[in-house]
Amino acid sequence: MIANFWIVKYNFIPSPEVGYFYFTEKRNIPQKEGDFVFVLERLMGEWHFTSLFKIMEIKKNEDKTELESLIIFTKREIFEPKPLENFKFSLANIKNYVNPIIHFRSWKKITADEGKMILFSNINEIRSLIGFTFYNMHQDHRKCFLYFLGIFDFNQSYYVYNTFEVLSKLNEYITHQILNPSYQFLESLKLFKEMFGEENYIKLSFAAKDERSNPSIASDQEKIIKQYLPELEKNFGTNFKFRNEELIFSEEYIKKIKKNPLVLKVN
């Protein structure tokens, strides 16, 4: 019998036996002996997968006036805590990327691929690259990219059904609208320093026509660009490479993410 993987928030009590835990359910349960369960707990204010348990025994309570089921876990192996945040674009059922824990109020069954992702920290690289890159961009860039995808009403969301197509467009956008302009800007600052010296460079500022009262300091912009460029350069521009989810994951997981596409929106 094939074992299933589950995720559950911490809501059980340690038993007197070391290494065993139990908790109860008010209904018949789909879990079975041999299944694996990842436990979500708060660590330093953030939700983490803290433990991995294997269901060793399920005892039914015959007294219908009481809670119906008793599940006993035993810890399978030492499990290093991993932030839920790292997997928010990989786990297909997550839609709220700001507060992903809301999707785990009760037992949540996940695919074997998702279980292995958590177990071995092997995220869905494609969805994660799109999701983290998009939501880490400035809001103006998010608007521009959605416009590039054909979204003209920014109250609407864009559903990513073809991840490679969107990733290719994201690479095109980042290359032409972020990387290349950044290289040009840094080169112009370099020339300015050579021509006018470091002392004048420190005083250099610029602003759009309607924002002259709040100019940007060139040296500050240089620091920001140099801070974020290396991360973008790892995956985009000349380092962009072809990725295909269907060559990596099982049919079960592919069907699940097609039913639960990645969502891109401004806010």
Q: Provide the residue ranges of all domains of the chain, joining segments of one domain with +.
A: 5-123, 127-264
Residue 13 has pLDDT above 60, yes or no: no
CATH architecture, range 5-123: Roll (3.10)
pTM of the model: 0.85
The DSSP result for the chain, as a single string, is -PPPEEEEES--EE-SSTTEEEEEESS-----TT-EEEEEEEETTEEEEEEEEEEEEEEE---TTS-SEEEEEEE-S----EEGGGGTTTSTT---SSSGGGGGSS-EEE-HHHHHHHHHT---HHHHHHHHHHHHS-HHHHHHHHHHTT---TTS-EEES-HHHHHHHHHHHHIIIIIHHHHHHHHHHHHHHHHHHHHHHHH-EE--GGGTTSPEEHHHHHHHHHHHHHHHHHHSGGG-----GGGTS-HHHHHHHHHS-EEE---
Q: What is the pLDDT of residues 242-257, one digit of tens each?
A: 777 666 889 999 999 9
Q: What is the pLDDT of residues 159-180, one digit of tens each?
A: 999 999 999 999 999 999 999 9
